[in-house]
Amino acid sequence: MLASGFALFALHQPQEVQSSAYRLALCVHSGAFGLACLLLAAHIPMAFLSRQSLKAMLSLGKGFLTEQEAMKHAALWVKGDLEIERNAFERQSDQNQTILREKRLN
């Protein structure tokens, strides 16, 4: 959309003498704008169908999904996020253990 908009700006021509390149850029730009509007119009109702996700995104209430709700919507992402959190927790625990050992030795 940005490229076609720039092309329209660069190729700006009066209505009577529009080249085929200008018309092509106009068609691409109009099509991209229409597609963007269509995607937006499709996603708004989908957000209202999933109230739990909408609450979490808009931070209405606690701003969090339960793990069970999240697993229904995006199980792979949840598993990946939980694995990352577990790894970070384990690393932090290992660091804490190392610090305690060093303190005991001193």
Residue 58, pLDDT score: 67
Q: What is the pLDDT of residues 51-86, one digit of tens each?
A: 766 766 666 556 566 777 777 767 777 777 778 888
Residue 61, pLDDT score: 56
Contact 55, 61 (CB under 8 A): yes
Grouping H, G, I as helix, E, B as strand and the rest as coil, residue 64 is: coil
Contact 54, 47 (CB under 8 A): yes
Rounded to the nearest integer, the mean pLDDT of the chain is 78
